[in-house]
């Protein structure tokens, strides 16, 4: 191959690389906003599943507070709490809590707590629990998580915050006690965290 052919080949490769990089950059730029908006819609849908839109009038997705890592929330890094308000008055806080001891690892939860310390609701948003057993924590599979609605640290009393197998009031799943046990404990811990930090969550 002559020097001229080598130079031409190198030039074509260089042009191809530049064009390819440009296409990737343009594609990324045009899809980034769409991805961000889709993620925002999914988050908002999950938040509104715990707090109906008529209970708040603020932009809950952006009304947030960073929380330091906490054993009670099951977090090893900073996390975010979403704050709901109505007429500028606090309504509820929705925590990103983690049950670290699920059957197949961590269970990520959204836990909504009203200002008075009662539960707005609980949703599992990410987990690897066994299909047909532990995955009944998902609302589309079972209404088990709805059993937390309206509960608080006094309803039931602290000692009753456990699955029935452990002497508590919450149902367990046939063949899958570890999963509900982990979630019940994490929900209780989140309520404890809120009780300890209620005065600062909405600041």
Q: Is the bond into 198 cis (omega within 30 degrees of 0)?
A: no
145/163 Cα distance (integer angstroms): 13
What is the predicted pLDDT for the residue at 87?
96
Q: Please list the rounded mean pLDDT of every run of 10 residues in the chain (203 residues).
A: 60 61 60 69 85 93 95 95 96 95 88 96 84 74 92 96 94 82 96 95 89
From the CB of residue 149, how many other CB atoms can be counted at a distance below 10 Å? 13
Task: Supply the DSSP symbol for 136.
Answer: G
> Can you give the pTM of this predicted structure?
0.80
Strand order, beta sheet including 105-114: 64-67, 79-86, 89-102, 105-114, 119-126
Lookup: tokens for 82 = 């979403």
Nearest partner of 46 among 38, 175, 87, 5, judged by Cα: 38
């Amino acid at each position: 191959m002559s020097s001229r052919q080598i130079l031409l080949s190198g030039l074509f490769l260089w042009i191809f690389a530049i064009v390819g990089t440009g296409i990737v950059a343009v594609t990324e730029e045009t899809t980034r906003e769409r991805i961000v908006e889709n993620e925002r819609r999914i988050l908002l849908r999950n938040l509104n599943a715990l707090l109906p839109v008529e209970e708040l009038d603020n932009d809950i997705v952006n009304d947030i507070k960073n929380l330091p890592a906490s054993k009670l929330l099951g977090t090893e890094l900073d996390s975010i709490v979403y704050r709901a308000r109505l007429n500028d008055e606090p309504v509820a806080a929705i925590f990103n809590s983690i049950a670290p001891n699920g059957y197949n690892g961590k269970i990520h939860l959204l836990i909504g707590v009203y200002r008075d310390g009662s539960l707005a609701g609980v949703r599992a948003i990410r987990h690897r629990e066994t299909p047909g057993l532990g995955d009944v924590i998902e609302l589309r599979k079972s209404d088990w998580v709805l059993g937390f609605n309206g509960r608080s640290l006094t309803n039931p009393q602290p000692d009753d915050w456990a699955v029935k197998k452990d002497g508590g009031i919450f149902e367990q799943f046939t063949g899958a006690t570890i999963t509900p046990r982990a979630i019940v404990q994490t929900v209780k811990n989140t309520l404890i965290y809120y009780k300890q930090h209620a005065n600062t969550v909405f600041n």
